[in-house]
Structure 1
Amino acid sequence: MSGTVRGAHGRLSFASLGSGSKGNATLVSDGETHLLVDCGFTLRDTERRLARLGLHPRQLDALLVTHEHGDHVRGVGPLARRYGVPVHLTPGTWLSGRFGELPHRHWITPQARFAVKGLTIDPVTVPHDAREPVQFRILAGERCLGLLTDLGHPSAHVVEAFAGCDGLVLECNHDPRLLAEGPYPASLRRRVGGDWGHLANSQAAWLLQRLGLDRLQRIVCSHLSDQNNRPELALEALLPLLDGDESRLRVAAQDTGLAWQTLG
């Protein structure tokens, strides 16, 4: 186990196995309970990425699924079957038929709080082109982490639900100019840039401003498109809101993810 996640109960740590169109997975831990949110990598790749962060799959207490798109669920079934990890997902996500047998399946009801050992989870409905998508607020003691990726626009419901977090993993999927001039066909450009697709950097900045910055210790730009965005553009959009304080801002990369971050 990494020393970073052996903190006192009530502290909240998180890390990214990788984030982007080729695979997404986020670890959340209070030092005793370990959650994996989504698993968009092959089983072997997931094992390798977990080991890089000091965790073995048998230490996972649960796997939470946001929605059924392949870059979020590719490894869910294999990981659950190999290691007996309980999977929490909405009925709509399950009905996509992309999981195979899940030995320990638990339903998520959007807007209905539940707990996994020492961590409390609020699943929040978001606007995205999936069957029954949710994102999560995860709480340990007085600390709260918001995981907010894969949404087409920052709805009033999302603003209300994710206000007051101590940490935020926030989608910065694309730069509108790069999307418009990029290689995607017109239909895919409309999907990505539409109200049920993905957040542009400017939309992420708009949302962040309305969520409030006072409590936020760490903001992580996530789910960056390798075709339609660049890390410097995402940072450039958010940094003015922080008065140039780069210490609060990180980027979760596709290949290397993000090392453990602790909300103390």
Structure 2
Amino acid sequence: MGKLRFASLGSGSKGNATLVSDDETMVLVDCGFGLRETERRLARLGLHPRQLDAVLVTHEHGDHLRGVGPLARRYAVPVYITPGTWLSGRLGEVPCRHWITPQSRFAVRSLVIDPFTVPHDAREPVQFRFESRGCHLGVLTDLGQPTDHVVEAFSGCDALILECNHDRYMLEVGPYPPRLKRRVGGNWGHLANVQAAALLQRLGLDRLQRIVCSHLSEHNNCPELVLETLTPLLDGDGSRLTIAAQDSGLDWQAIT
């Protein structure tokens, strides 16, 4: 069994998909891209959909779910999903479906996975913590606030993919209508940069080898603001910080 590693096919409001692998097992967390685009982005990393052991779904919003059904039907990839997300009716039939029970550990071959409930405006949303050979990766996007439950669930990770969705000022003065601004900035929406920073401080930074800033809003954020907010937490050393981009994603990152 190899080291735990991860990559992003792309992250943002137009589509999200994250690969997690320990070389023996490979799973895709969400698939918010159409089938052809997913195939293209996998090929960019030298991969084929048939190499996937499973797709894990966090929630039913289109930028996370759009390609799950087509991918599962075309390549018979098993889908792991909460009943609430399934009952949204947005997935369609899939050849092989497994239920996720929040707060109940499960495994996909060699990967051990803990699904945790998060505050987000979906039917039964979860985010995931992965473990393999003593290494821990947290995938934590699409939540409106860093609750005590979230802090407890994701403490002690070696790497973290963390939502940095918006800058509060850019959201306030940006082009979204007031209702959408309230949704995005509310307790059931998305994390602002300052919230991500506060969460990192509560989680502790000593063990974190990699912090991947993800799900940046196209209209309400920019990489420069994210790095400006988070880098001071690391004593000015930004080498542990990386951005998962919407178009280019992120190449493989290894956890030692």
**109, 122, 125: which one aligns with 1:133:** 125
2:81 is matched with 89
The normalised TM-score by structure 2 is 0.99
C-alpha distance after superposition, 1:33-73 (max 9, x if no partner):
00000000000000000111121100000000000000000
C-alpha distance after superposition, 1:82-105 (max 9, x if no partner):
000000000000000001111100
Distance 1:95 1:182 in 2: 34
Question: Which consecutive residues of structure 1, in runs of 5 or more, have no partner in the other structure?
Answer: 1-8
Q: Is the 8 A contact 1:165 1:215 kept in 2?
A: yes
Distance 2:205 2:153 in 1: 15
Question: Which consecutive residues of structure 2, in runs of 5 or more, have no partner in the other structure?
Answer: none
Alignment pair present for 1:50 and 2:18:
no
Q: Partner letter of residue 127 of structure 1?
A: P
Q: Partner letter of residue 208 of structure 2?
A: L
Alignment pair present for 1:64 and 2:40:
no
2:199 is matched with 207
Matched residue of 1:206: which SS? Answer: helix
Matched residue of 2:172: which SS? Answer: helix
1:6 is matched with none
Alignment pair present for 1:174 and 2:169:
no
Q: Is the 8 A contact 2:2 2:24 kept in 1?
A: no
Distance 1:100 1:204 in 2: 34
RMSD, matched Cα = 0.6
Matched residue of 2:160: which SS? Answer: strand
Give the total of aligned pairs: 256
Cα offset, 1:141, TM superposition: 1.1
Any residues of structure 2 matched to 1:1-264 within 5 Å, and which?
9=1, 11-264=3-256
Cα offset, 1:32, TM superposition: 1.2
Moved over 6 A (4+): none
Q: Is the 8 A contact 2:12 2:218 kept in 1?
A: yes
Q: Partner letter of residue 14 of structure 2?
A: K
Q: Partner letter of residue 93 of structure 1?
A: T
Q: Partner letter of residue 115 of structure 1?
A: A
Matched residue of 1:160: which SS? Answer: helix
Distance 2:170 2:131 in 1: 36
Q: Is the 8 A contact 1:170 1:220 kept in 2?
A: yes
Distance 1:34 1:63 in 2: 9
1:5 is matched with none
Q: Partner letter of residue 87 of structure 2?
A: L
The normalised TM-score by structure 1 is 0.96
Distance 1:77 1:171 in 2: 24
Distance 2:151 2:174 in 1: 30
Cα offset, 1:10, TM superposition: 5.0
Cα offset, 1:214, TM superposition: 1.0
Cα offset, 1:146, TM superposition: 0.2
